[in-house]
Structure 1
Amino acid sequence: MNDPIFQSDYSDEFWGVLALSVDELCDFIINDKPITSSVPLDSISILDRLEHIRQIKPIEYDKHVKQASNILQAIFEKYSPFDKKDMQKVLPMYCSALYLQMQRLEQKLGVSIPKAKRGGISGISHNQHTPKNFMEAYVTGGLKPIYGNPFIREEFVKGEGKIKHTLTKASGQLEIILDIDVAKAKELKRMIDDAGVSSFYLGKKGLAYVSDIRLR
């Protein structure tokens, strides 16, 4: 959370766009009304707010909503606010309003708000947000690495080049003997039977199940 976008003097005004109601958002877009609302300045809280906004159902495209949306359309070419029924989607308004606030704050304060490599807000486009890209920008370690297909092994053979070996599924039976007294064995068997679940995951893709329990 030490990123300047969360720790600067403009941070409350910038992210405060997401704390506005739809009516307040339209007033902000149309009249450049100062933002006094705020959200917690951390990536999780901001992502939660974006997810909440994403779930708001489309609204009628009329009156002040239409006026505010038309302003965003005139400024941002990529802004795309309508669904298949020509209703106004809410999330694009908030996302593009963030870009509008970025422009206004940079002009008003003479600052440069940190941007992604392509010049936008990390993980947020003019119409939506991508949680994994948003979080990647503000956490250490980056995205989870992908090491390839676990069912294919590549081998370089001299004179032949790279050869791919495809692994096949295997099956078998494992017998486990527990050296415990009869009372404990009966209790364990009863607990397994009472659970009502005999299968469990074995490794990444395997599935195992208990076929038989015997007391000796």
Structure 2
Amino acid sequence: MNKTLRVRINYNSKYCNQFLDGSNNEPLPKNGRKFAASMGSLKTNTRHVDITQNTVLGVLSRLIGDQRKLYQARNSDDFYFADILDKITFKKHEVVPTDAIVFLRNMGGSHEGGSGLVNAAPSIFTVKGTSKLWSVLYAKHEDIPKIVTGDIDPPFIKHHDFDTISERFKEIKKLNVDYSEDYKECIETFVKSFPQSLTPKSFLKKNPEKLKVEALYCSLIYYWLQKLIKLDYNFDELLTGNEVIQGISKATYTEKDFMLYKYKGGKKIAIGNPTVVSKKVVGSGGKSENIPALTIEDGILDIYIEVDVQRAKEIKEAIEAARVTTFTLGKKGLAYVEGIKYASFH
């Protein structure tokens, strides 16, 4: 004679989202599962997860004292529930969802801006020769090949600061210039001068007929830097240990890194931020509306096990003997067994 054993679980504050890549139902990668919900990718990488059959099997295993991961238990020869998998069902009710605010910690060690006092006289603009170095940014793009060959000199502008350099690079990035043979020789010179950093493709956009003007100016800065060093200018204070200007590679300008010259304390480690995430859905009437994408829930989970009387008694006694008073359900959810009894499945 079969009976239905009902195990009632009361749970609170179970997150309905997953923030790690991979799955609980497979072995852990060598370096663990990666955090996949940074500030920049939270909207796309935050997956909704609900209670599933695997969740229920994991709960039951935990309740009888099996401490193994579910995938480990299921792959073993002594998985207790292996012969009754099709006899186990579940139902949630009295579910109360709540919109969640999460505090995203800096798990990757990333930085945000600079720290410390503002540097009133940053070496990037005060060291002798820096006016000549930054002046090359103001050359016309069509004049760069002539500057490289020495046919003309770049313009000279005496005063530079973070705002003027930033604005000039914004102008440069907006330039739409067709590639022509006029640039071929100077590009070859740049590649030959910096073979570890550049290839001819570094100077082309995805459309190979378009010139990546930003790379042309960045390379020109380093090319001119070499010329000034040969004239006995000393730029050691400007350069990092890799002999580069922070924020400017041979091909790109990164403003947030370049702006670190403004501060005396270097990079500031990002701590974290309280975050609310919403997603856009099409509501009634075809109108788009934003709904919360992060939720936590409270509720009751009833697990039904339809087995013979002897097996039902055995499961009940195993749960009571293990004396698992509370356990986690999902991410951060707190759960406990409210009761175990024989019941009809409705």
TM range (shorter): 0.5 to 0.7
1:27-86, CA deviations, whole angstroms, 9 ceiling, x for partnerless residues? 1112174333327411121111111101111322312x2221121121112221112232
SS of 2:148's equivalent in the other structure is: helix
**1:105 lines up with 2:223 in the alignment:** no
Separation in 2 of the partners of 1:109 and 1:60?
Answer: 35
Q: Which residue in 2 is equivalent to 1:25?
A: 144
Q: Specify whether residues 41 and 149 from structure 1 end up closer, same or farther in structure 2 by C-alpha distance, changes over 3 A only.
A: closer
1:12 pairs with 2:131: yes
**Any conservation in 2 of the 1:12–1:38 contact (CA below 8 Å)?**
yes
What residue number does 1:59 align with? Answer: 178
Within-5 A mapping of 1:53-202: 53-63=172-182, 65-77=183-195, 78-79=197-198, 80-86=202-208, 87-113=210-236, 114-140=238-264, 142-143=266-267, 145-148=269-272, 150=274, 165=332
Measured on the aligned residues, the alpha-carbon RMSD in Å equals: 2.5
Once residues 40 and 27 of structure 1 are traced to their aligned partners in structure 2, the CA distance between those partners, rounded to angstroms, is 24
Q: Once the 2 structures are TM-superposed, how far is the Cα of residue 5 of structure 1 from its aligned partner?
A: 2.5
1:143-198 superposed Cα distances (whole Å, 9 cap, x missing partner): 554223647xxxxxxxxxxxx857xxxxxxxxxxxxxxxxxxxxxxxxxxxxxxxx
SS at match of 1:109: coil
* CA deviation map 1:62-114 (0-9, x unaligned): 12x22211211211122211122323211101001000011110011252342
The equivalent of 2:90 in structure 1 is none
**SS of equivalent to 2:218:** helix
The one-letter amino acid paired with 2:255 is: P
Q: Shift in Å at residue 123 of structure 1?
A: 0.4
SS of equivalent residue, structure 1 residue 47 = helix
List per-residue Cα deviations over 1:110-155 (Å, max 9, x = no partner).
Answer: 523420232201100111111110112223454554223647xxxx
- TM superposition score normalised by structure 1: 0.63
Q: Distance in 2 between matches of 1:149 and 1:121?
A: 30
Segments of structure 2 that go 5 or more residues without pairing to the other structure are: 1-119, 276-330, 334-346
Higher relative contact order (CA 8 A, sep 6+): 2
SS in 1 for 2:214: helix
AA aligned to 2:179 is E
Q: What percent identity do the matched residue pairs reach? A: 24
For 1:165 and 1:32, the matched residues in 2 are separated by: 68
TM-score, length basis structure 2: 0.40
Aligned partner letter, 1:21: K
Larger Rg: 2
Rounded Cα–Cα distance in structure 1 between residues aligned with 2:158 and 2:233: 23
Stretches of structure 1 lacking an aligned partner (at least 5 in a row): 152-163, 167-216
Determine if contact 2:219/2:251 at 8 Å carries over to the other structure.
Answer: yes
